[in-house]
Structure 1
């Protein structure tokens, strides 16, 4: 059954003879130079990264599918790209390690007593149905190969943030004691959930479904945030992990949205920082790889080789050193030292200094990753990053709030 025939495959592929060049469109989350160089060496190809912020990447993926071969993004950024048929289904018969991809992706949870987070759990958009809709009913085709993922919350300076405050709740992110010392991530489908989890935990408002807010709920939440902004509550809004870390390094914030890569930067700089383990649960995200609709022939083969390479072990070890997880963790275990595995996946104290993805030390001996093991963290998800039904409205309101409209 050839479902691919319904897609437009007219655009030419790059370099179909000789050493092919694979063009990967994505963000700084996974477009690391170490990965690019290793892929070139292992696969005998040229790899070109097109690195952008989330919104730029999503818009380019949807509107310019002939400019890339691989779309490296997150499940919550898939809807618009899939709607425009910018990417084609992935044939599971060509994914050699599919049986080893873990259940967090395939089922939405791990373990016997899981918390199935609200929002865009990857399984809801994983399988391609007979009518080309996306759903959780297993089929022979998937929309995106699951790769990197993590469980985020907020970070705070332990030298000031823990003084008389409950930092084990999202409510801390909107606590007025931090006025002028707070920052949020400036990406609508991410920052809105940090704010929503905080507002709900603080008792400022409730949601019928926090993963799919109504227009009225979006308005009420943005109104709360705008009132805080007018009072000088927010110091900044950031768009990259490096920018987030710089805010704390420069002494501008005490508490803020934060990603694992930012935590690692701060730890490496000696900044006393901790990621919160909110009792309400984490905001989770899951990345993956899509195939551009223009791929066929030799370049389609090359793209499948790249997809299989990504979950083969070595790349997962690199992303582990960023503080991220991979969908085939046992494959990556062989490329991590026992000390690295115990720290990043096992939740145990670091028995020695541990390197980041660039090889320099980023984890100090004795450090413990907040939240425990991978399996503990994966069972504490409140909501997944999500593109809601009212996403377009949310983007307009969010841009007005952060001052970009």
Structure 2
């Protein structure tokens, strides 16, 4: 082909359109590849996940807002990111399912008779107030779209503690002398410290005026107690990722430890002896969500709203349900679950057949009932939310010193 003809051919060829990309920064709680692939198929643009550990995610979200479009984490991580001006308000008029979002996030409880719980309940920082701060007075803009959430407790070995009675277990088991040398805590200052505080209060060692917002003296007392127990050999170690918690169970090194819902399906032969608790004192809860980066405008902002709205359409919520989490507009995902799945995960029914998780493996055996029962039962018993306290920096430094000493002493 003559050169001039080749050049004319290049000029006449249609330009290659660059595929649109939405960048999502978050943690592996919600940044699941199955969810990403479904969203890409439904929305028609690419989605890039940047999955980080809890502390790194929060820090980068606050200090590096230009390199993500959507921030997915939890309400208790929000204050720091919002304070640094990394996010922009979400207009509820652009959220198609806003009216169907549950009252747990919007008002603080599933009914007016339900106590909100100590700490960072979503409603306390959901709405953007006229002065730009976050609060619970309803406004037309919000800081974070409420999505996946759950209530957590701890796992325990029935060979040591026996089966729970009808009144449930107790957080005191997490510091129980019977489990000395076989106790593990989750290494996250806004989570693990509260598991320990709930245990210390339940066993009568300490009391807190407000367990969700401890004073310096209360933090010192808690950490002194934990250090004493560490020196007495109570703890086998700590964990950061759920697979580390599961490994401790597989190796039969723990009798009681902090645990998150998806892990109970990954315990192999230990599944029959290591159980999820439903503490009589109530659960420690968390609520995830998605926020908009401050730099979004125009068509990119429209993409981001499409993504937020997609999260509430049902498919993502079904994936969350199959690993034990809940979605804030439960009825929207009902058609994506089988009646047996809905009955077990949301209604608290005995499983009428084996149920599979997101990866296709069986996670619930026929005849099992979810510890704690139905959704309404479980979220009606929230004692405390994951929280960044007023004295968070002091608590985090104290906690990190304890974890460092614990790691150095762990075989």
CA distance in 2, matches of 1:295, 1:268: 48
1:238-281 deviations in Å (ceiling 9; x for gaps): 11111111110111101100000111212686442221111110
Which residue of structure 1 aligns with residue 141 of structure 2?
141
- 1:120–1:386: 8 Å Cα contact kept in structure 2? yes
- 1:360 deviates by 1.6
What is the TM-score normalised by the length of structure 1? 0.93
Structure 2, unmatched stretches of 5+, are 1-16
Relative to structure 1, is the Cα distance of residues 284 and 164 closer, same or farther in structure 2, using a 3 angstrom cutoff?
closer
| Residue in 2 that maps onto 1:296 | 297
Distance 2:46 2:128 in 1: 30
Q: 1:152 to 1:38 in 2, by over 3 A?
A: same
Query: What's the counterpart of residue 176 of structure 2?
Result: 175
- Taking the TM superposition and a 5 Å limit, the aligned residue runs for 1:62-211 are 62-162=62-162, 168-211=169-212
**CA distance change for structure 1 residues 164 and 282 in 2, over 3 Å: closer, same or farther?**
closer
The 1:139–1:326 alpha-carbon spacing in structure 2 relative to 1, beyond 3 Å, is: same
Structure 2 distance, partners of 1:219, 1:336, is 47
Question: Is 165-174 or 108-117 further displaced after alignment?
Answer: 165-174
Superimposed CA distance per residue, residues 29-58 of structure 1 (whole angstroms, 9 cap, x where no aligned partner): 111110011111110111111111100100
Check the 8 A contact 2:23/2:48 in 1, yes or no: yes
Post-superposition shift, 1:358? 1.2
Indicate the RMSD between aligned Cα atoms, in angstroms: 1.6
Aligned to 2:254: 253
Secondary structure of residue in 1 paired with 2:291: strand
Q: TM-score with structure 2 length normalisation?
A: 0.92
- Aligned position for 2:355: 354
Q: CA deviation at 1:111?
A: 2.6
Q: CA deviation at 1:198?
A: 0.4
Q: Which runs of 5+ in 1 are unaligned?
A: 1-16
Q: Which residue in 2 is equivalent to 1:4?
A: none
Shift of 1:159: 2.8
Contact 1:349 1:367 in 2 (8 A): yes
Question: Does the 8 A contact of 2:249 with 2:270 survive in 1?
Answer: no
Check 1:333–1:211 CA distance in 2 against 1; reply closer, same or farther (3 A cut): same
Q: What is the CA–CA distance in structure 2 between the aligned matches of 1:267 and 1:372, rounded to whole Å?
A: 23
Give the 3 Å change call, closer, same or farther, for CA 164–318 of structure 1 in structure 2. Answer: closer
* Correspondence 1:21-32 to 2 at 5 A: 21-32=21-32
Partners of 1:288 and 1:298 lie apart in 2 by: 22
